[in-house]
């Protein structure tokens, strides 16, 4: 009898010693989702908040739907004042989501993303943004600075106008000042494609190029390389004119030279297209009743006719 | 031959120049406490390791449930590892916490993210669970042997 009891105790002791203790006291996982904010400039109103969702080093897979609720940090009620569904953009190197919630006051806002996976599982991921009363960057609705950026006319060496390996000469044909005089929408991309070689910024100019190939000369497309010295990395004067301290930024200007949309950080072709398309229809205003139902290629052809008549 | 050497020299020069000025974004590589983890003891510090060296402008903020800020957190770049950001923390009460980090790479590029961990009120530790299971198993075996011995 004593032998059996001894055996049980000995085995119990061995079992206790044989299992390594978990060093940090971690017992299981909750929600591994991590939110990575992709932009930093949030102004009161309906700021564009873009974010990616990660599970470890990789984007979270099989996301079916993301809703986001916002509440002001420090608010006594602690109630969400805004909620909505985030728009997914999967046509970028990293899939990302965008929300434009109504955030009426400056301060720190807490956002809770509720992520529904394809299998129906729901997980939450909170994150925070700081909303300011005014942005240093040129704001929505403001008149674009009439910048005299460098073009092939003033700098014939294309590789001094862009740090990219294979710059598209079409992006260096006109100044912003000239572009806004044409009456067409203008896309201005502030980027340094050869010097910021990460998944966050390199594909931005590719997105602009994709939309340029679709839209053609219905709109002006300008790339402003943010550095005028690729060794000392000094900013071109246009960065200060536009109040920019980071890159990349893409601005979409309407035919009157006012800011219709602005994008800080990653930008997919689809998101740029969605901002530009309404302005293209405005360009075609005499034809709008007809172009509403016709294809993009037909609109392009019609646009060429209008341009030829105007010229 | 001279042309080949010239090309090599220019290529190596360009390689050095290009790599010297390329921008970087510091990305989170490891985190303690880990994203989504449940810890049983209030962590004394948060340790975040990034893919690039980071500057002292980098920050860690901690929020309790309902986005209540946790005060008394001081974050600084680890002396021994320029890619690690360490924040000492006051004792925490059980609940869910959101870590909001901003890493500024040495060339000034910021990245920012957040994740959640939970400080459990009570958690059954895997080792303890293993010990209890084995104990019950062997107690059962002991009872069977004891009854079998008594009936014999």
ipTM of the predicted structure? 0.76
Question: How many angstroms separate the CA atoms of B110 and A246, rounded?
Answer: 9
Whether residue B16 lies within 8 A of chain A, CB to CB, comes out as no
Scanning the structure block, which residue is given the tokens 């001894």?
A6
Residue B78: how many CB atoms within 10 A of its CB? 14
Burial of B73 (0-12, 13-18, 19+ CB in 10 A): middle
Whether residue B63 lies within 8 A of chain A, CB to CB, comes out as yes
Q: What are phi and psi of A94, to 5 degrees?
A: -115, 125
Point out the least confidently predicted range of A124-133, A190-199, B87-96. A190-199
Sorted by sequence, the CB contacts under 8 Å of residue A31 that are 6+ apart come out as A123, A124, A125, B36, B116
Average the pLDDT over B71-83 and give the result: 95
Q: What are the angstrom distances between the C-alpha of A140 and each of A96, A217, A236, A257?
A: 22, 24, 22, 11
Asked if B39's CB is within 8 angstroms of A198's CB, the reply is: no
Q: Does residue B102 surpass a pLDDT of 60?
A: yes
Please tell me the predicted confidence (pLDDT) of residue A27.
42
Average the pLDDT over B27-50 and give the result: 95
pTM (2 decimals)? 0.77
Helix or strand or coil: residue A251?
strand
Rg (CA), chain B: 27
The domain spans of chain B are 24-126
CB pairs under 8 A between A and B: 148
Residue A303: how many CB atoms within 10 A of its CB? 21
A33-131 in CATH: which number? 2.60.40.1220
Asked if B111's CB is within 8 angstroms of A11's CB, the reply is: no
Whether residue B47 lies within 8 A of chain A, CB to CB, comes out as no
Q: How far is A179 from chain B (nearest CA, A)?
A: 30
Given a contact cutoff of 8 angstroms between Cβ atoms, the answer to whether A235 and A227 are in contact is: yes
Bigger pLDDT: A299 vs A11: A11
Question: How many angstroms separate the CA atoms of B102 and B113, rounded?
Answer: 7
The third-level CATH classification (topology) of the domain covering A158-310 is: Glutaredoxin (3.40.30)
Whether residue B134 lies within 8 A of chain A, CB to CB, comes out as yes
List pLDDT tens digits, range A130-172: 999 999 999 999 999 999 999 999 999 999 999 999 999 999 9
Please tell me the predicted confidence (pLDDT) of residue A291.
33
Please tell me the predicted confidence (pLDDT) of residue A14.
52
List pLDDT tens digits, range A37-67: 999 999 999 999 999 999 988 999 999 999 9
Question: How many angstroms separate the CA atoms of A49 and A54, rounded?
Answer: 16
Given a contact cutoff of 8 angstroms between Cβ atoms, the answer to whether B123 and B40 are in contact is: yes
On the question of a common fold for A33-131 and A158-310, the answer reads: no
The domain spans of chain A are 33-131, 158-310
Asked if B142's CB is within 8 angstroms of A5's CB, the reply is: yes
Q: Looking at the DSSP assignment, which residues form a beta bridge with residue B60?
A: B101
**How many Å separate Cα B110 from the centre of its chain?**
19
CATH architecture of the domain B24-126 equals Sandwich (2.60)
């Amino acid at each position: 009898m004593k032998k059996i009891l001894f055996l049980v105790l000995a085995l119990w002791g061995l079992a206790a010693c044989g299992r390594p203790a978990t060093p940090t006291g971690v017992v299981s996982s909750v929600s591994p989702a991590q939110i990575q904010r992709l932009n930093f400039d949030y102004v009161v109103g309906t700021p564009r908040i873009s974010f990616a969702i990660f599970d470890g080093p990789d984007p979270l897979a099989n996301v079916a739907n993301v809703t986001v609720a916002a509440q002001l940090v420090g608010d006594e009620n602690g109630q969400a004042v805004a909620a909505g569904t985030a728009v997914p953009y999967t046509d970028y190197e990293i899939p990302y989501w965008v929300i434009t919630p109504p955030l009426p006051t400056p301060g720190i806002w807490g956002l809770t993303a509720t992520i529904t996976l394809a299998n129906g599982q729901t997980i939450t991921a909170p994150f925070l943004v700081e909303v300011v009363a005014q942005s240093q960057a040129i704001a929505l609705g403001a008149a674009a600075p009439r910048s005299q950026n460098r073009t092939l006319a003033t700098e014939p060496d294309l590789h001094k106008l862009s740090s990219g390996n294979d710059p598209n000469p079409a992006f260096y044909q006109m100044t912003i000042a000239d572009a806004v005089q044409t009456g067409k929408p203008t896309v201005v991309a502030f980027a340094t494609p050869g010097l910021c070689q990460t998944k966050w910024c390199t594909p931005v100019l590719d997105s602009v190029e994709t939309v340029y190939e679709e839209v053609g000369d219905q709109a002006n497309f300008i790339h402003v390389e943010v550095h005028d010295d690729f060794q000392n990395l000094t900013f071109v004067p246009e960065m200060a004119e536009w109040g920019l301290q980071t890159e990349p930024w893409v601005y979409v200007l309407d035919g009157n030279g006012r800011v219709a949309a602005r994008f800080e950080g990653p930008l997919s072709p689809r998101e740029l297209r969605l901002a530009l398309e309404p302005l293209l229809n405005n360009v075609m205003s005499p034809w709008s009743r007809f172009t509403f139902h016709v294809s993009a290629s037909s609109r392009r052809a019609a646009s060429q006719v209008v341009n030829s008549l105007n010229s | 031959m001279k042309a080949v050497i010239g090309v090599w020299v220019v290529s190596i020069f360009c390689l050095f120049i290009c790599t010297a000025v390329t921008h970087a974004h510091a990305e989170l590589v490891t985190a303690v406490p880990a994203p989504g983890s449940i810890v049983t003891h209030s962590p004394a510090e948060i340790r975040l390791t990034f893919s690039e060296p980071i500057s002292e402008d980098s920050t860690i903020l901690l929020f309790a449930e309902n986005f209540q800020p946790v005060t008394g957190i001081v974050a600084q770049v680890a002396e021994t590892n320029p890619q690690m950001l360490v924040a000492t923390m006051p004792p925490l009460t059980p609940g869910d916490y959101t870590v909001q980090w901003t890493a500024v790479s040495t060339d000034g590029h910021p990245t920012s993210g957040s994740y959640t961990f939970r400080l459990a009120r009570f958690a059954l530790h895997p080792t303890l669970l293993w010990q209890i299971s084995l104990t019950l198993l062997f107690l059962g075996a002991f009872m069977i042997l004891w009854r079998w011995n008594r009936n014999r």
